A and B are shown apart, each in its own frame.
Chain A
């Protein structure tokens, strides 16, 4: 009797779990998802690929999807990535998740994929082809949030040095447009210098060192991520007081911030996009394959670190890496819902 109850209970429980999971997973267990990535040569992209491996690896072994393979092109060129996407079509993937080298140059290949019945989800580097889904980052909002913070922190305003990214990339234009919009709203701030740091600490350090001798007193440095630590080094090397520098979630930036905070009570904030956004794209693709209704355009939240959350973020960030968040199926559902 006892045994019987236990058995029924187990059966009921297992049926319960099956019933709970079945509707979400049943249709995608045989599906194959590919990641088409255009570049792997910096810490952000490496973290993005690691997150992808971690989350999709678990999803494959638990049978949510049949495969989730990542492919990265060698040369960061649109033509090469277009050829790669054509290969993925021939290999019979059901969905392709893309971080694109160009918003427009891949449209032909993306259209071919859509025509072949493949779900295409682009993220971070999005594509404009209407048949594809886009998980876009509100880069302009990210730029503007820096001025929102500064107007509270330094109400009197002052001179700003703007660090830009890689010239000619739309992300750079977007973030900068957001920063300039923020300055227009807060006229007590004035951008007195602008240099391109290419989102790399050593390039930023070089560019700032070059312009610094000619600049007046700087109240704050607005940045795009991956350039805050290099800027701080350049200020220190020139023997100038280090102003408030907005950071970009890199481990060396957070560590430097922590050291300054402990030594002098230095205050700033840090904002960037979590590389784990690739996993959000994965779950969105899985949801579309599962038949869920998903709008073509979704927006990812930024990952912001404040004076209070600094220690916690520093602890969870791998030494030399970048602060990260991996997204779950529920996060994807929430994102889809909020974009409806």
Chain B
């Protein structure tokens, strides 16, 4: 009993309740058909949102004004450069991944450089850097769809015991993120900065170093997501990251993390990512039009956030 009440005080529980409701509603509509297939598809596509969502969550945790808008461009550029380098050669998978990671590292460094050295607010800094990154991607990609190596396609589209490989990968990353945020000194520092940057600085937290690492982490995770998404969906394309800008922010907020920073959680990102996929699938299955679907998605998201927020204030 006590444990159950405790569970309901967790801000992320609401996203999982929403996931279950959307899944059950869809299954009831189809008369019990396709439940497993739907769950598998949800796990697959949520995996990519989770990876970018974790990065965005760390950045948002840093406190008001911290956000990374360069995620879509980073995904596109890392996927483009990595896949171009590999040129469908399966032996180059690891060097390709290193190139993707390098892109993420460079983007994170550049973003923080703009924020710190030129004193540009993060929202403007990452927006303008995303133009530079996207232009580089356009210059390198020239609008062509670059094919991934066969072995990567196989890896990203297969599953182990019914669980998609990309979901397993994301799960491992999420567990790591959980320990970094909740159990490590670095995570505590990030939370402290988000609650009060001045107090954190006075308490001896290396604020600049932590912020720098956080933006780099976000860039690297976006690059990883781009690398695997391109391998999964049959190639790197210029518009491949577009929908992950809003998604990355939405999963953080719906997951019950505070958008003002200083109070975040990792499980909620998984819940929110699954939910975003399932709610669209549910409304598509019901056969509602695009207009109604967008309105309903908005209303449902507001409802989930209100519920999660309401619980928190009671605590």
Contacts and interface: CB of A to CB of B under 8 A. Distances in A.
B45 to A, nearest CB: 5
Contacts of B147: 252, 319-320
A42 B30 contact: no
Given A164-B290, A252-B145, A193 B240 contact: no
Given A203-B243, A238-B37, 6 more contacts: A46-B144, A210-B38, A213-B38, A214-B34, A319-B144, A319-B147
A319 B141 CA distance: 12
A210 B284 CA distance: 8
Nearest to B135: A74
A212 interface: yes
A320 B138 contact: no
B284 A213 contact: no
Interface in B127-178: 131, 134, 138, 141-147, 157
Interface of B: 26, 29-30, 33-38, 41-42, 44-45, 131, 134, 138, 141-147, 157, 229, 232-235, 237-240, 242-243, 277-278, 280-281, 284-285, 287, 290-291, 294
Contacts of A321: 143-145
B290 A41 contact: no
A233 B235 CA distance: 12
A237 interface: yes
A233 B38 contact: no
Nearest to A176: B290
Contacts of A200: 237, 239-240, 242
B41 A230 contact: no
Interface in A1-60: 40-47, 50
B157 to A, nearest CB: 6
17 contacts: A41-B239, A43-B143, A43-B145, A43-B237, A47-B143, A164-B290, A168-B290, A198-B243, A202-B237, A203-B243, A212-B37, A214-B34, A229-B234, A251-B144, A319-B147, A320-B144, A320-B235
A258 interface: no
Interface in A196-213: 196, 198, 200-203, 205-207, 209-213
B45 A213 contact: no
A194 B284 contact: yes
A250 interface: yes
Contact of A46 (B44, B142, B281): B142
A251 B229 CA distance: 19
Contact of A252 (B234, B284, B294): B234
A318 interface: yes
A74 B127 CA distance: 12
B38 A40 contact: no
B233 A210 contact: no
Contacts of A193: 284-285, 287
B239 A210 contact: no
A41 B138 contact: yes
A154 interface: no
Interface in A304-340: 318-321
A202 B145 contact: no
Given A41-B238, A211-B281, A201 B233 contact: yes
Given A167-B294, A214-B29, A238-B41, A252 B235 contact: yes
A168 B290 CA distance: 8
Contacts of B34: 212-214
A229 B232 CA distance: 12
Contacts of A203: 243
A43 to B, nearest CB: 4
A202 B240 CA distance: 7
A53 to B, nearest CB: 12
A74 B277 CA distance: 29
Contacts of A74: 131
A233 B145 contact: no
Contacts of B144: 43, 46, 251, 318-321
Contacts of A230: 233-234
Contact of B134 (A41, A46, A237): A41
Question: Which residue of A40, A211, A212 has the most chain B CB atoms within 10 A of its CB atom?
Answer: A211
A311 B27 CA distance: 43
A195 interface: yes
B33 A213 contact: yes
Nearest to B44: A209
Contacts of A167: 290-291, 294
B239 A195 contact: no
Contacts of B280: 207, 210
Nearest to B37: A213
Nearest to B153: A233
A318 B146 CA distance: 11
B138 A201 contact: no
B41 A40 contact: no
Contact of B284 (A46, A47, A195, A229): A195
A176 B145 CA distance: 26
Given A168-B290, A195-B284, A229-B234, A202 B229 contact: yes
7 A-B pairs closest in CB distance: A46-B143, A213-B34, A320-B144, A210-B281, A213-B37, A167-B290, A202-B233
Contacts of B26: 214
A168 B29 CA distance: 27
A252 B147 CA distance: 9
Interface string A130-152: 00000000000000000000000
Interface string A106-128: 00000000000000000000000
Contacts of A164: 290
A213 B30 contact: yes
